[in-house]
Structure formats: C-alpha cells, structure tokens
Structure 1
Amino acid sequence: MKRICFLCVIMSLLLFIAGCWDQDLLKDARLIYGGGYDPAPNGKLRVTFVIRDVPSGEQQSPKNDIITTEGNTPRDARDHADDQVSRHIRTYKNRFILIGEELAKQDIYPVLEVFYRDPKSSLNARIGVAQGTAEDILSLKKVGNVLIAEEIDELIKSKEETTTVPKVTLEKIYPVMLDPGEDFVLPYLMEQGARVNVSRIAMFHNNKLTGTLSPDESTMYLLLKGNKGKVTRFTQNMSIKGEMSTTEENPQIRYDFLTFNVDKLKQKMKVKVQSGDQITVHLKLKMKVSVIEYPKDRLEKKQVVAELNKDLSKKMTDLAQKTLEHMQKARCDGLGIARQLMAFHPRVWKKQKEEWGSNYQKVHFTPVVQVEITKQGIIN
C-alpha cells in the first residue's frame, strides 16, 4: 500500500515538471563547419561560412555551401548570412576558425568574443591564421575528394601530431589572451595551388600577429616549450664546409643529409636576473634520437656516431638560437618569460611590465641542445 501511494505521489509530481522549453532541434538548423574572417574595404568585417548540407538520399554525399557576408561585427555578419539561407545557422559542429592575415594584425579578441558569449558555441574548434585572406582558402570547397572543412581540420590535427603546429582551440586560447605573462602562437595556413599547406607558426604579441616562423623553427619552438608530438623529425646537412657529395651518374644526388626523429626529450628553462636587471634565460634540451635516413651510413663506427652527435648538437643549438632571435624580433613571448618574472622576480617585473614588448627584445637567451643518437635502424 505504501509503495502504491509513493508511486502515485511521483506520478503527480511529474505532471508539474516542465518540458524542454529551450530545445533547439537539429532538423531546424543549418550547421556551420568552419568560418573565415577578413577585413572588408569599407571598414566592416567580411565573413565566410562553410555550411554543411546533408542530402536526404542515402546515395548522395554531403556538400559544402559557402556563404560570404559583411557586417559590423561577427554576430552581425552571421545574422546577414542567416537571411540568405533556410532554417537557422548554428555553430554546434564548428571545427575551425580562420583569421585572415591583415585582420590578424589587429586585436583578434573582438573577433572571437562572440564565441565565448554563446553557450552553444563549439569551444573545441581549432584556430589558425590564413596567408592572404581566409575567404580564398575556404573558396576551394574541396581538396581532392575531401571537403574543405574536413581537410583543414584533419590537416591541422595531423600537423599537431608531427610537432609542426601547436594544438590551439577556442577554449585553450582564451586564458592566454587575457594573460600578460605569455603570448600565444597559431597555425599558419597557406594556399598552394589547389591545396592547403600547414607547416608554419604565426606569432602574436598583445593579441596581434607580429611574424611567422619557418617549418624547422616552428618545430624547435614547440620543443623549447616542451610540447613534443608523436613524431618530431629534422633533416640536417652534415657536409663539411657546405660541400655536397655527388655521384658521376647523377650529380644531383646528395649524400650528406641526415634525417632523424626525436624519441625522447628533456626540457629545462631557468630565468636569472643579474646586476642592472639584465634578464638571462638558460634553456637546455636533451634529445635522444633515432636515425631515419643517412645514405653515407658507417653508423656502426662509434667514432662516426660521436662526431654526428657533436655536429647535430651544434646545428640544433644554432637553430634554437635563430628561433629565439626571430621570436624576440616579433616581440612574441611564447615561452612565458614574463610569467616567470611575475612569480620569482616581482620587483623586476614591476619595472619592466609597461614596456615589456621592447624589454623582452633585450632578454639574453643561452640555449644548449644536446643530441644523442640511440637508434640507427635495422641496417646495423
């Protein structure tokens, strides 16, 4: 009897429970899979949306619908795009955001602000900078047989695994944009014919694009940061005094290049303040690497391996120094030196924080990279 009464009470309460008053049905939505933002000539914002269309027939493949609109703000441009399509545009499945190079040279926070305000935004969407305009890249529609939205998303993801670009999403970039102790970097996308190239990093200072790193420098920066992906490969010229070894049959064949993969990495950074408030940063990397390709071979000889370790250590140290110089020229504090000063040298930071961009360029970096070949492949 008590059980029956209890069930009756529960059933009565269920009658007063409200339904899903805020439901947003998928059948009423047009899903944005990617967006590109560029400055418009009239001072407005030019936005390109990649909208996914899934035909009703089972034999038909999904298609991209590219819509370009202009507005005073990102949300205003999205509303104008909504006027051009049936149903309502939604960002549940948004995979990436591309910012054109000219727009990235301005403060990019106002462009991204709408995504943080909307509780239904996809915060795991990746972010990148497009060489030229984002509209040009998205207008490709397809790369081979792959739709442009999937191609860009998967391409950036694969380059994250090969230690080429950092893994940056809307969620991860937000606290860094508001943090004066560190600058951020983003993947840099370039259109090459009918394809998209992702092999460089775009550097930022005060949320503005200030420069780019070469492919090798981009990978070195990530190692200096301690962010090694699944694969980290370098190819270095090991010839003496820049000479190339050739054969009589084909003088173009080069034997002096060595390709290696970084298997294990140990990174250490120490910030010191000397007399006169001179800031010195000691960076040390220890790499255990495996040889992937070296046509000269002779790796069974310990003396040869020892010489290669010495030469590779010098070349990688030079690359680290060159990378840091380019970062200082761009005023990109991507290693968070300012945060170290805040935590351990607050007096120095208080004096330098107002002009940290120019003061950062005076920081003295002393990188040391130690390379040790531990694997030589199955030949030896």
Structure 2
Amino acid sequence: MTLMSLSSTPSHTLKPYETHREVEIERVRMLFLGAHQPFKRESSQAKVSLFGSEVLVRMTLASVCGSDLHTYEGRRSSYLPSVLGHEGVGVVEAVGPEGDESMVGKRVTWTLTDTCGCCSACTDWDIPQKCESLFKYGHAELEGGSGLNGCFASHIVLREGTKIVELPEKLPDSYAVPANCALATMVAVVEEIPASVEKVLIQGGGLLGIYGVALLKARGVNQVVVTDPVPERLELAKEFGAEVLDANEMSGLEPQIFDAIIEVAGVSSVVPDGLRVLRPGGVYVFAGMVHEQTELDVLGVDIVKGCFKIIGVHNYGARHLEKAVQFLSEHQNDFPYDKLVSPALPLSKLDDAFALTLERKWHRVAVQPD
C-alpha cells in the first residue's frame, strides 16, 4: 500500500481556538509516581477536548523503551505524576474540528515529539527534534494539554505539530511499535553514513544496533560488525546479517579498518577503541550516549590528524519516521522482527512489564490496554 502522512501542516501548539470538539471516553492511565514506585491505575469517564486538528488515538500496543526505564530507575528526571511511554501504535478515534475526518479508523504511529514548524530548528537547520517549543510524549505534565500525553494509557491525544503515519494493513503492531523511536532514530543515524562505505562497525547490540544492521544490510553495505559484551545480543545480531565480536575483544582488531562507526552502546568507554579502528577520513556517529555520565577520554590530536568526521544524532525528524515505516513495509519478511518485542502484557500489569524489561530477555516489552 502507499504510505500516507496524515498530520496537518504544523502550527504552534499554543494557537488559541474558539471552538473545539468534545469526545467522551473511558479513560485509563497508568500513573508514574516516582522512581521504583508501583504504577497507579486510574480509570474514569472523561471528556476529551480536541482543538484544531488534534487527533484522539485509541492505543492498541505500546512498548517500554530504554528511556522509560531510565525514568523508572531515577536516572532521568520526570514530572510527577505523569504518564510515561512514547513508543506506540493505535487507531484514530476522533479528530478536532479542523482535522481530517478521513483519518478516523486509520491504524497509525506518530513522531515522539510535537514541533512548532516555524522556528529555526524546524525550518532552517533540519533538526525539528530541537524545536524551540518541543513537546515530548511520555515526558510531560499529567494535566498538560489533554492529560493524555503518554502511551501507557487507553488513549493518547496527538497535537497539531505531530507527524502521523498510517501503518500498512499487513504490518503487525508488534513489528511497528518501536518504529517511532528506535527505528526512526536509526534511519536518521544511517542517513549520516556515506553511500560509498563498505565496512561499518556498530558498537552496541541493543535494539538500535539491531535496526542499524538491518538498515545497512538492506542498503547493500558489504560488512557490518556488531560489538557487545552480551552473547545473546550477538547471536541475534547474526540473525539480522551482522558479523559479531565480543566487546571485550576489541583490542585484537587491526587499526584503521572501518569506513564508519556507529556508537549505540550508551557508554563513552567504547570511543577510544572506535577511534583506533576507524580509517583516516572516516565517519563516527554518536547516538547512544544520551545521559550525563559520558565524559570522553580521547585526545583531540587523534581526531584532527585522523581527519575524522564526528556526528551526533539525537532523536529524528518527521521524514525519518516515514522512511522507517516504509522500510518495515518493504522488508517485513527479510528480518526476524518477531524476536525483538515480547508477547503483550495487559496494561494493568505495567509493573510486571518493567520488571521483565529489567531482565533484558527482550529488546522491547509490549503492553496493551485491557
């Protein structure tokens, strides 16, 4: 099928409206109350006000991302209480008075951020994820806007500057649920890798690394090597087409053998080894070091004399989500996506989902409304 972009032209989310549409729903929210605290299930009849072209989506599946886990463990600040979760898919139930009625009934995913569409980051710099008025789903005040701001709920309200993408009919929810975070981010990362490269090293065998392998192999890159200290992750990386190496054996590699390196390990200790095996003029993309404990122990002279190109990538723009869904549509049967996301737990068992995530048996643990 042809993929459709369903979002309206972005406009500032604070635009005033004289009219709105009210929709009555049975609202269920799993409230995050603090680090390591049990989630609180809140259920009530609620009237949701949709302004402009806002969209009400009934959640069908969500998954626990690493950043959700960081919040749960107290390593990432959050509003209290709040509704976590930004990876999700759902069905459009209603649109605001200025919305497109043809969207109702569509199965969709959406960007994890809402942007204004008019600041320099959105228009000139091509990094809308750094919008001056950025809003992040799953990382907002409970009563900010609709109060349905995260995916660990029965519904979510998508703001006007959110890109909404229809999902192909035959694409399972479980394949699509991480698309608006991990996969779209890796689309943005791989976009920074020159088309001419033949050898790429990926540092980190988590979901970002796995998607990186799939994207690069589908693009025709000759050799993709994944390093990670966890044997089970390396085994799965092989199933996606990678060569693998225990991260503790990096010192055994010859120097200057890779055209490009992608860091998605989330730890800065991998960088010195990466610089050693990167050829002169090579590209090094940092995408995993998203927390404060990431000081680098490297010499500037090594970067300068190596003529290395160092690029940081954080999140993604709307086009990357569109490309992510297109990639899944075109390569649905080419990779074992069924091994990435767990069977769904009931949303009411969100505590169990986080406990299972901590066991690290799955790259993503899924929950669905019950």
Q: Same fold (TM over 0.5)?
A: no
Structure 1 or 2: more strand by fraction: 1
Q: Please state which band the TM-score falls in when normalised by the shorter chain.
A: under 0.3
Normalised TM-score (structure 1): 0.25
User: Which structure has the larger Rg?
Assistant: 1
- Decide which structure has greater helix share: 1
The alignment's TM-score, normalised by the length of structure 2, stands at: 0.26
